[in-house]
Chain A
Amino acid sequence: MKLSATASNCEGLSRLKSHGFDACDFQLGWYFGPNGPFKDVINTDPADVVAYFSKIKEHADKIGIEIFQTHGDFSGQVSSYPKGSIEYVAHARLNFYATKTLGAKYCIEHPYINLERRYDENLEQSIEEAIAVYREYIPALEETGVICCLENMHHADKVHGHRCPTTLSRAQEMADMCDVLGKNFAICLDVGHCTVTEDDPIEALEIIGDRLVCLHTHDNDGMWDLHQFPYVKQGVAASHHPLVIDWDAFMAKLAQVGYKGTLNFEVGAPGPAAIREAGYEYLAAIGRYLVSVYEKNLK
Chain B
Amino acid sequence: MDISKSVWSEWELDVLAKAGIPCCDYSVSGMFGLNGRFADVSDITDEKIYDIYAPIREKADSLGIKIPMAHGLGDVSVKACKGGLEEYVKRSRATYVAAKILGATHIVQHPSFKTDRKYEIGMDEEIEHMIWAYGACDDALEETGIVCCIENMFSHDYVQHHRCPTNLSRASELATVSDALGKNFAVCFDIGHSIVTEDDPVQAIYTLGNRIACLHAHGGDGMWDLHQMPFVPQGVAASCHPIIIDWEAVMKALADTGYKGILNFEVGFCSPMPCRVAEAKYLNAIGKYLVSIFDKEKK
Contacts and interface: CB of A to CB of B under 8 A. Distances in A.
Interface of A: 161, 220-221, 223-236, 239, 248, 270-272, 274-275, 277-279, 281-282, 284-286, 288-289, 292
A235 B235 contact: no
Contact of A220 (B235, B274, B282): B235
B159 interface: no
B156 to A, nearest CB: 11
B286 A275 contact: yes
Nearest to A268: B233
A226 B272 contact: no
Contacts of A225: 235
B223 interface: yes
B233 A282 contact: no
Give the interface size bracket for B toward A: 20 to 34
Contact of A271 (B220, B272, B286): B286
Contacts of B278: 281-282, 284-286
B22 to A, nearest CB: 16
Contacts, number: 97
Contacts of B270: 231-233
Given A235-B226, A281-B282, A286-B271, A275 B235 contact: no
B232 A285 contact: no
- The 3 tightest CB contacts between A and B, nearest first, are A224-B235, A235-B224, A271-B231
A161 B274 CA distance: 37
Given A233-B270, A285-B274, A221 B235 contact: yes
Nearest to A225: B235
Contacts of B236: 221, 223-224, 236
B9 interface: no
Nearest to B276: A285
30 contacts: A221-B236, A223-B235, A223-B236, A226-B233, A226-B234, A227-B233, A229-B232, A231-B270, A232-B232, A233-B228, A234-B226, A235-B224, A235-B225, A236-B221, A236-B223, A239-B161, A270-B232, A271-B230, A274-B285, A274-B288, A275-B285, A278-B284, A278-B285, A278-B286, A281-B281, A282-B281, A285-B274, A285-B275, A285-B277, A286-B275
Contacts of A229: 232
B211 interface: no
A230 B272 CA distance: 10
A279 B286 CA distance: 9
B132 interface: no
Contacts of B282: 275, 278-279, 281-282
Nearest to A280: B282
A248 B274 CA distance: 13
B221 A235 contact: yes
A289 B221 CA distance: 27
